[in-house]
Amino acid sequence: MMLKDKVAIITGAGRGIGRSTALLMAEHGAKVVVCDYGVSLDGSAPSSEPANAVVREIRERGGTAVAAVDDVGSFEAGQRIVQLALDSFGRLDCLIHVAGILRERMIFNMAEAEWDDVIRVHLKGGFNLLRFATPVMRQQRSGSIVLFTSRSGLRGAPGVPNYAAAKMGLVGLARSTAQAMAKYNVTVNCIVPVAFSRMTQRMAGPMIQAGLGAGEELGLPEDVAPLVVFLCSEAARHVTGQVYTSQGNKLALWSQPREIRTVYAEGRWTPQGIADIFESQLGQDELVRFK
């Protein structure tokens, strides 16, 4: 068992990828805080049943779990969830942030609340949990954090700019936290899941197809969980600040952002000077979805 006696918080663990991750982590010996507010994809109608059902399933299989039915978008909830792990199991080794909601709208039609709600759950939710988990891991001088990003964030997605912005924000949060926590033996990584779930079903059609290459298909939630277990295990203590795709039987590593072409002026640039050299020396790195 790769996670024997480790304590893990998993948000969005009542369904889909979060549920599959919770079950596999428990199978590998982790004690799991199953965190799920139980809402619909638009963030409405909270229910304790999704989290409680996964806790029952883990216990029936001989594992250990408790439910946290709380809204990760609340700063105070971040503290409560981390404290629940400490009160229940005495430590915190792994934090996996999967929870999210959708508010689909083109940027020119989006209401302020539709922007704020998505940013609050995905990005602020990640901050809320990291804010209270990192001091614990810093004191322990060990820990593993996995945040879930998306191709929509890394490549853009015209119909969900709020979701894309939040998901790209999580990459920046992960890389920054990885740098801050490295000397405390705490790793922070991101996963791009390409798997069938409530969210991808809601985003079905052209939006999904635009993110898939020729011959590619959506995987299943169960396909993503093994990568989470690995990244939280001792076998991945040297892995941090990275972004990986998990898609069916495919794993992939994303590149770190870097400058790919550089030109210098003699003195300061002028607008015309930029125009004169732009196409031949600088140009563009074409967006994948424009190809």
The full length of the chain comes to: 291
pLDDT digits (tens, 9 = 90+) for 127-175: 999 999 999 999 999 999 999 999 999 999 999 999 999 999 999 999 9
In a domain, residue 269? The reply is no
Whether residue 56 lies inside any domain: the answer is yes
Q: Is 244 among the residues known to form the active site?
A: no
Q: Is residue 99 part of a domain?
A: yes
- Report how far residue 34's alpha carbon sits from residue 47's, in angstroms, rounded to the nearest whole number: 13
d(CA 230, CA 220): 18
Q: Domain containing 86: what range?
A: 7-259
Q: Which secondary-structure segment (H or E) carries 32?
A: strand 31-35
Q: What is the pLDDT along the chain (291 residues), one digit of tens a residue?
A: 999 999 999 999 999 999 999 999 999 999 999 999 976 666 666 788 899 999 999 999 999 999 999 999 999 999 999 999 999 999 999 999 999 999 999 999 999 999 999 999 999 999 999 999 999 999 999 999 999 999 999 999 999 999 999 999 999 999 999 999 999 999 999 999 998 666 655 555 544 544 555 456 778 999 999 999 999 999 999 999 999 999 999 999 999 999 999 999 999 999 999 999 999 999 999 887 776
Say if 251 falls within a structural domain: yes
Residue with token string 């009160």 = 87
The CATH number of the domain holding residue 191 is 3.40.50.720
How far CA 263 is from CA of 36, 258, 269, 271, in Å, comes to 50, 15, 10, 14
pLDDT at 288: 76
Strand ranges across the sheet with 94-97: 64-68, 31-35, 7-11, 94-97, 143-148, 186-193, 243-247, 250-253
Locus of tokens 């020396």: 281
Structural domain contains residue 44: yes
**Among the options 163, 184, 244, 264, which is catalytic?**
163
Residue 78, domain member (yes or no): yes
State how many domains the chain has: 1
Residue 94, in any domain of the structure: yes
